[in-house]
Structure 1
Amino acid sequence: MNMAVDEQQAASTEPATRIIGKRRLMGLGGGFLAVAALGYGLYWANIGRYLEETDDAYVRADWITISPKVSGYVDEVLVEDNQSVAVGTPLVRIQDRDYRARLQQAQARQAEARAAIVAQQAALVTLDAQLMEQQALIDQAAADIDSARAERQRAQLDYQRYRDLVAQKAASDQRLESVTADFARARSAFSRAEAAASRQRTRLSVLQASREQAAAQLQQQQARAAGADASLALTENELEDTLVRAPIAGVVGQRRARQRQYVTPGLPLLALVPVAQSYVVANFKETQLRRMRPGQPVEVRVDSFPEATLRGHIESFSPGSGALFALLPPDNATGNFTKIVQRFPVRIALDPGARQQVPILPGMSVIAEVDTRSDGEAQQHE
């Protein structure tokens, strides 16, 4: 009888215990949710509302296309696909025998031009010596004129004196005739001296003109030599350009150059991608840019390596939206208008250690999250 009563009491108390347990679990669950909501609210108020995130972001690099400066047949391709190269590494060699022949031709022209300059300088030296000699001859002619003038004056005085003496019957006519002849010879000698001096001055003018002409020819030869030097420099540059070198450090991609291929200036040979200088371009909505500033920290998660979180900072903002620089930009002044939120490219520089965490390659998709808090706000919430 007592066992039956105890079983009835136990059966009656079991539902009450279950109800109490369920209530406790509900209370605990509600408390946990309340704490979680409070924590999330605090996180959102202090940190979350300052974070701006976008998955429209990609790794980029300023890669370049390598093209030759000269034409010719490819003699040898010195790199392989996906090979890392340093600055100045030889990439492609073009046959250079024609360019070496042109170099020898340019060197011969340069030597000829320099020899012509030396010959013209020697001619100028000769003319300068002739000018000095001619000046001495002019001085000698001037001295001869002075001597002839003095002799003419003496002969004239003798002629006048003997003419008076003959008039006074103090001298003979024969003596007067002799003095007259001397006076005539003195006048002739003076005229010859003047003519000789004039001829020497004319010769000086001719030599001066020849000297000016020789100087002009020297300048012409020097100009030709300068042209020959320039041609030689261009030929040397062309010969040097037959060996195509890497202008930057990077990884070889799109290797199109093949041996015995004929190439011309501007023809793409291969691409160089500076993987070590890659960066992230994140396209944020215009409504997300209000608090963004250069230098703010950024967390980057690469889709290929979701477990890794990379660090970086905002480097710069695009001067216009992506639609502004599109090939066919939209014209909102035509037809019906539907407002679309625009996106602006933001350049994000990765920290130096980010590339050591995971192998980042240009073109990878990433998720970028910017912390827009100021320094004071970040220190306050830490």
Structure 2
Amino acid sequence: MFELMLCSLLTVFPDYLFRRYAQGKRIGREITFYTVWYELRWGITACLLLTISLITLIFYFHPSTKHVTAVFRTVTILPETVGRVDEVYVGNNQKVEAGAPLFRLDGSQQEAAIETARRRIAEIVAETQVAETELAGADGQITEAQGAYQTAVDEYEMKAQLLKSNAVSQREVDRLQTTIDGRKGAVDAALAKKKTLETQIAVLLPAQKASAEAAQAQAQVDLDKTFVRAGVAGSVQQFTLRPGDVVNSMLRPAGILVPAEAGRVALIAGFGQIEAQVMKPGMIAEATCVGKPFTIIPMVVTGVQDVIATGQLRPTDQLVDVQQMGRPGTLTVFLEPLYPGELEGIPPGSSCIANAYSNNHDALADENIGTLRWLFLHVVDAVGLVHAMILRMQAVLLPVQTLVLSGH
């Protein structure tokens, strides 16, 4: 309607002035309800053609959409293990900080595992002390065995000298040789026992202690998993847990955590596919939202998704008919505020209306630009003002349309 009124001022109105003052035709006499088409046919035809051209020009180079939403992400509150709720620390719709505890599962099994690991560590420490005591006794056994061995060697050497003078028998010398071998074995056994104790103290018991400490740490990690904490700062929604409820990470989540910054960073808009060649990152845009009426928010296009979501295909056990994708999808565009804090006060998930404006400043600054192209680009940039005025009219009428004309 606004475009039609503007075009009529350039076509129908000058035609009427010509008929009135050049041809002397007056409304109510020569120009009546029945003759208005014949008398103003040139102006009306030009008005219709100019209106259609203007609307096409505006909506192509300065696209608009009502499919704009402050999309926000939610975080599902889930424990890492299955368990029964023992304590609940927060309530529904309560704001929490990152790392704040939300609820705790029953951790008696994990606490028992920690206590078992702690007792095993104490047992290994005691075994180490016993082994150190035995190691001190092993030194005494080695000294005793070496003394007995040396005594046997000395006696053998003395009897061997006596054997040459037939003072002792060969059998007695052989017996002493056997005794030496036995005493030598006792010395080796004492040394081996000491080596075993040293290895046990230096390698085995520390390894067992390290394993027990690792088991204690694992049990502590499992116990910590029973405390479910907030990953980010935000508000807890749909949280109805009570002590005694069983929470399953696969089948039954505990609730939803809405991050504090959710939906307050950017808007996501769905423009028509025909604007795919026009929409570029860096374009200036404007938006007005139902959650913040009578307000125009300056935005900038920060990203344009290079695929249409409705064309996606996932492998299934059935062939997909293209007819099922008959509904045309939209071009997903990301809009961010041109100035910080512009989205404050807009509830996440609000519906909005957005305009994007083409900017031909760089093309107009080219010295080699032709006259017709220079004129066309000037017209394109100028008609963006019309679309901006339409958006402001929508911002004014949006509360009236929502509260009065919608019938709610």
Distance 1:181 1:152, change over 3 A: closer
Distance 1:368 1:345, change over 3 A: same
Cα deviation 1:198-236 (Å, max 9, x = unaligned)? 333244445545665775466345423431332233224
Distance 1:138 1:293, change over 3 A: farther
Distance 1:217 1:294, change over 3 A: same
Structure 1 counterpart of 2:254? 269
Distance 1:316 1:304, change over 3 A: same
The alignment partner of 1:354 has SS state of: coil
In the alignment, the residues of structure 2 paired with residue 77 and residue 379 of structure 1 have an alpha-carbon distance, to the nearest angstrom, of 63
1:302-321 aligned at under 5 Å gives the runs: 302-318=289-305, 320-321=307-308
Question: 1:133 Cα deviation (Å)?
Answer: 3.6
In the alignment, the residues of structure 1 paired with residue 23 and residue 335 of structure 2 have an alpha-carbon distance, to the nearest angstrom, of 52
In the alignment, the residues of structure 2 paired with residue 354 and residue 330 of structure 1 have an alpha-carbon distance, to the nearest angstrom, of 47
Structure 1 counterpart of 2:116? 109
Question: 1:131 Cα deviation (Å)?
Answer: 4.2
Return 346-355 or 280-289, whichever deviates more.
346-355
Question: 1:282 Cα deviation (Å)?
Answer: 1.3
In the alignment, the residues of structure 2 paired with residue 298 and residue 273 of structure 1 have an alpha-carbon distance, to the nearest angstrom, of 28
1:174-323 aligned at under 5 Å gives the runs: 179-181=166-168, 188-205=175-192, 208=195, 216=204, 219-220=207-208, 222-238=210-226, 241=227, 244-255=228-239, 257=240, 259=242, 262-266=245-249, 267-274=252-259, 276-278=261-263, 279-318=266-305, 320-323=307-310
Counterpart contact for 1:85–1:250, Cα < 8 Å: yes
In the alignment, the residues of structure 2 paired with residue 309 and residue 282 of structure 1 have an alpha-carbon distance, to the nearest angstrom, of 16
Higher RCO, Cα 8 Å, sep 6+: 1
In the alignment, the residues of structure 1 paired with residue 313 and residue 364 of structure 2 have an alpha-carbon distance, to the nearest angstrom, of 37
Counterpart contact for 2:146–2:187, Cα < 8 Å: no
Question: 1:296 Cα deviation (Å)?
Answer: 3.2
Rg (Cα) greater in structure = 1
In the alignment, the residues of structure 2 paired with residue 111 and residue 359 of structure 1 have an alpha-carbon distance, to the nearest angstrom, of 54
Structure 2 counterpart of 1:129? 136
Question: 1:63 Cα deviation (Å)?
Answer: 1.6
Distance 1:23 1:110, change over 3 A: farther
Provide the aligned C-alpha RMSD in A: 4.7
Counterpart contact for 2:79–2:225, Cα < 8 Å: no
The alignment partner of 1:180 has SS state of: coil
Question: 1:321 Cα deviation (Å)?
Answer: 1.5
Counterpart contact for 2:92–2:238, Cα < 8 Å: no
Distance 1:295 1:254, change over 3 A: farther
Question: 1:21 Cα deviation (Å)?
Answer: 10
Counterpart contact for 2:141–2:190, Cα < 8 Å: yes
In the alignment, the residues of structure 1 paired with residue 146 and residue 66 of structure 2 have an alpha-carbon distance, to the nearest angstrom, of 99
1:56-95 aligned at under 5 Å gives the runs: 56-69=67-80, 71-73=83-85, 75-76=87-88, 78-81=90-93, 83-91=94-102, 93-94=103-104
Where do 5+ consecutive residues of structure 1 fail to align?
Answer: 1-18, 160-178
Counterpart contact for 2:135–2:198, Cα < 8 Å: yes
Give the number of aligned pairs: 326
Cα deviation 1:340-362 (Å, max 9, x = unaligned)? 75423222233532123x43331
In the alignment, the residues of structure 2 paired with residue 193 and residue 355 of structure 1 have an alpha-carbon distance, to the nearest angstrom, of 98
In the alignment, the residues of structure 2 paired with residue 373 and residue 76 of structure 1 have an alpha-carbon distance, to the nearest angstrom, of 55
Structure 2 counterpart of 1:54? 65
Where do 5+ consecutive residues of structure 2 fail to align?
Answer: 1-19, 28-41, 367-377, 382-408
Query: Counterpart amino acid of 1:123?
Result: V
In the alignment, the residues of structure 1 paired with residue 229 and residue 177 of structure 2 have an alpha-carbon distance, to the nearest angstrom, of 83
In the alignment, the residues of structure 1 paired with residue 87 and residue 189 of structure 2 have an alpha-carbon distance, to the nearest angstrom, of 67
In the alignment, the residues of structure 1 paired with residue 171 and residue 89 of structure 2 have an alpha-carbon distance, to the nearest angstrom, of 98
Question: 1:64 Cα deviation (Å)?
Answer: 2.2
Structure 1 counterpart of 2:356? 370
Question: 1:22 Cα deviation (Å)?
Answer: 9.7
Question: 1:60 Cα deviation (Å)?
Answer: 0.6
Distance 1:326 1:63, change over 3 A: farther
